[in-house]
Structure 1
Amino acid sequence: MTERVLVSENAIKIIDQLRVEHGELMFHQSGGCCDGSSPMCFPKGELMLNETDVWLGSIHGCDFFMSKDQFNYWQHTQLTVDVTKGRGSSFSLEIPMGIRFVIKSRMFTDQEREQLSPVHLGSEEV
């Protein structure tokens, strides 16, 4: 099964630090607000999801969502959550640390597309 979203070792270290302070976490790929299209990290359940949010999978024990419209654009790419220095302008938990989560992406190969992990829209598999 080809995973749709991955996480870098550097991002794992930050997630671990944030989890100590905030407990369980979740990610949502923003759709143009604040930092543009940055992945944002929240305490699990803090961001209200609705039927237009797509669950792409889990990274280091954290559910990863994005809006359906955003997914329609990104569905052909594998996303990797990473970190970079610099203060972003979002509400994501890592911002006070002087870093921000970023997305790196690459197109799926034909073979990978045939083995993609399913996504869920609300309670439906897409």
Structure 2
Amino acid sequence: MKTSSVTRVAITDAAADVLQGLISQHGPVMFHQSGGCCDGSSPMCYPLGEFRVGAADVLLGRIFPETAFWMSADQFEYWRHTHLTVDVVPGRGSGFSLEAPEGVRFIIRSRLFTDAEAAVLEAAPAPRRGADSAG
């Protein structure tokens, strides 16, 4: 299994459709998952440049089309063995996330990496951190 074939984060088609609408309306966006209480445990979508990524935050990857998905360092340590998929469901989430006025909210679905996927990720370079560059 090649390193490039194993990702830490993905997005469902339904969530990608919502994301495309948000990008059309707001321009480039990014996700951040803080792991805080309440809505802080949901992925938050912000216009690119309106959320400052912390030095220790981890870039899990890029989802449709090239949207960065960041996670707080503490949350990453807890979820490092888990593949995350951004999905969307009806309802209101946080007023700070761009999808809130649309009557939907982004959520995370997760599964543990297989042993083979985990081995590939362990052999790969560490994920980029916020201190490494903007993004």
Q: TM-score range by the shorter chain?
A: over 0.9
Contact persistence 1:11–1:101 (CA under 8 A): yes
Greater fraction strand: 1
Q: CA RMSD in A?
A: 1.5
Identify which of 54, 59, 70 aligns with 2:58.
54
Structure 1 residue runs of 5 or longer lacking an equivalent are: none
Tell me how far apart the structure 1 counterparts of residues 60 and 94 of structure 2 sit (CA, whole Å): 24
Q: CA deviation at 1:36?
A: 3.8
TM-score (norm 1): 0.92
Give the ranges of 4+ consecutive aligned residues of structure 1 lying more than 2 Å apart after TM superposition.
none
Give me the identity figure in percent.
Answer: 52
Tell me how far apart the structure 2 counterparts of residues 50 and 88 of structure 1 sit (CA, whole Å): 23
Match of 2:112 in 1: 107
Structure 2 residue runs of 5 or longer lacking an equivalent are: none
Identify which of 88, 93, 96 aligns with 2:93.
88
Structure 2 counterpart of 1:44, one-letter code: L
Cα deviations across residues 24-72 of structure 1 (Å, max 9, x unaligned)? 0100012214414100100111101121211111011100101100100
Does 1:12 find its partner at 2:21? no
Aligned residues: 124
Greater fraction helix: 2
